[in-house]
């Protein structure tokens, strides 16, 4: 995206949550998104799609990194289900959705077969690819994983939960090199011209 010859970048995040009450989860997401949209400025648009079904949801969001972090932090405070971050991509140069929307879908259960032996990255990329098909106008119900598959993701150790993702990537940290402990950095000395 380009605004006044400046490239705006955004983050793309795809996550799944197993929920007991889909209506409550949908309302929570709508409230969080509405609060972000009310405070957004030009260049900080929040776009994506929330796909809801009984027992689980799949949410794909596109927004600047700070807004994604705020959204996930707020969601993490009220998220009451197992969750899995399937994709997190920073500094993306384009959006796939024009607005944020939500949709209820009815997806039949599928045979999970040997999902546990498949590469988690390939599984997550398959879900992402199907969300991209939805962005181009393809049928959401045909391209949304089943509740059982989303629950599989949320129970897998291969993916971060929202809370562990925030702990790894959103918390501030302090970096001290071992060499600084042994030989501390010397203060800057200002020399005057002679």
Report the CATH number at residue 61: 3.30.70.100
Q: What percent of the chain has pLDDT over 70?
A: 86
State how many domains the chain has. 1
Q: Is residue 170 part of a domain?
A: yes
Contact 127, 145 (CB under 8 A): yes
Categorize the per-residue pLDDT at 173 as very low, low, confident or very high, splitting at 50, 70 and 90.
Answer: low
Residue with tokens 């140069």: 93
Mean pLDDT of 13-35: 94
Q: What is residue 1's predicted lDDT score, i.e. its pLDDT? A: 47
Query: What are the φ and ψ backbone dihedral angles of 175, each rounded to 5 degrees?
Result: -110, 120
Q: Is residue 193 part of a domain?
A: no
Tell me the pLDDT of the chain averaged across its residues.
86
CB atoms within 10 A of CB 103: 13
Q: What is the residue range of 78's domain?
A: 2-182
Q: What is residue 60's predicted lDDT score, i.e. its pLDDT? A: 98
Q: Is residue 178 part of a domain?
A: yes
Categorize the per-residue pLDDT at 66 as very low, low, confident or very high, splitting at 50, 70 and 90.
Answer: confident
Categorize the per-residue pLDDT at 175 as very low, low, confident or very high, splitting at 50, 70 and 90.
Answer: low
What is the DSSP-derived secondary structure letter of residue 54? T
CB atoms within 10 A of CB 141: 15
Query: What are the φ and ψ backbone dihedral angles of 163, each rounded to 5 degrees?
Result: -65, -45
Contact 123, 114 (CB under 8 A): no
Q: Is residue 129 part of a domain?
A: yes
Q: Is residue 190 part of a domain?
A: no
Q: pLDDT tens across 105-161, in order?
A: 999 988 777 777 789 999 999 999 999 999 999 999 999 999 999 999 999 999 999
Contact 51, 143 (CB under 8 A): no
3-class SS of residue 176? coil
Q: Is residue 194 part of a domain?
A: no
Q: Whole-angstrom Cα distance, residue 191 to residue 162? A: 51
Q: Is residue 146 part of a domain?
A: yes
Q: What is residue 124's predicted lDDT score, i.e. its pLDDT? A: 95
Categorize the per-residue pLDDT at 170 as very low, low, confident or very high, splitting at 50, 70 and 90.
Answer: confident
Q: Is residue 191 part of a domain?
A: no
């Amino acid at each position: 995206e380009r605004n006044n010859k400046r490239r705006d970048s955004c983050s793309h995040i795809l996550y799944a949550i197993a929920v007991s009450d889909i209506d409550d989860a949908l309302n929570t997401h709508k409230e969080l998104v509405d609060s972000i949209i009310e405070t957004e400025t030009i260049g900080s648009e929040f776009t994506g799609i929330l796909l809801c079904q009984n027992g689980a949801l799949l949410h794909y969001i596109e927004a600047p990194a700070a807004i994604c972090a705020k959204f996930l932090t707020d969601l993490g405070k009220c998220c009451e289900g197992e969750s899995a971050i399937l994709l997190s991509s920073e500094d993306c140069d384009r959006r796939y959705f024009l607005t944020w929307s939500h949709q209820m879908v009815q997806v039949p259960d599928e045979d999970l077969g040997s999902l546990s032996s498949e590469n988690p990255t390939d599984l997550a990329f398959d879900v992402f690819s199907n969300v991209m098909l939805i962005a181009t106008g393809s049928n959401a119900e045909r391209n949304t994983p089943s509740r059982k598959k989303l629950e599989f993701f949320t129970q897998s150790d291969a993916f971060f939960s929202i809370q562990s993702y925030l702990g790894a990537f959103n918390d501030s940290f302090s970096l001290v090199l071992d060499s600084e402990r042994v030989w501390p950095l010397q203060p800057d000395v200002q020399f005057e011209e002679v």
